[in-house]
């Protein structure tokens, strides 16, 4: 399996995870929130495939740096947990 940038075949989520440096649950969360492009050639319930270059571009623009250089995930919608609201004085 070649992981060179010239490789144009679609990648599975298991193949994509080590390339961009994020876990499979993080990638699934990003898919749910529309942060990375995904293709499902067989339709709903089918295998997810990714274009390597498109995902790398989306991850770099979302994080502002290379994928391997950070482990931060984007802020998710919803209320903040109470423990983050405490006064730290």
User: pTM of the full predicted structure?
Assistant: 0.58
Cβ atoms of residues 16 and 50 within 8 Å: yes
Q: Among the residues of the chain, which ranges form H helices? A: 13-20, 24-32, 52-63
C-alpha R_g of the chain = 16
Could you tell me the domains of the chain? 13-68 (1.10.10.10)
Is residue 75 classed exposed, middle or buried when 0-12, 13-18 and 19+ CB atoms within 10 A define those classes? exposed
Picking from 53, 49, 31, 51, the residue whose alpha carbon sits closest to that of residue 40 is 49
For the residues 6-30, what does the mean pLDDT come to?
A: 86
Name the 3-class secondary structure at 4: coil
User: If pLDDT is split at 50, 70 and 90, which confidence band does 25 have?
Assistant: very high
pLDDT tens for residues 41-86? 877 878 889 988 888 888 877 766 444 444 455 667 788 777 776 6
**pLDDT value at residue 58:** 84
- Looking up tokens 């979302």 gives 62
């Amino acid at each position: 399996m070649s992981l060179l940038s010239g490789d144009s075949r679609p990648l599975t989520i298991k193949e994509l995870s080590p390339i961009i440096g994020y876990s499979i649950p993080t990638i699934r969360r990003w898919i749910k929130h529309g942060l990375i492009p995904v293709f499902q050639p067989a339709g709903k319930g089918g295998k997810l495939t990714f274009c390597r270059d498109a995902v790398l571009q989306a991850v770099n623009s979302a994080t502002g740096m290379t994928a391997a250089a950070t482990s931060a995930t984007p802020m998710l919608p919803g209320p903040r947990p109470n423990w983050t609201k405490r006064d730290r004085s």
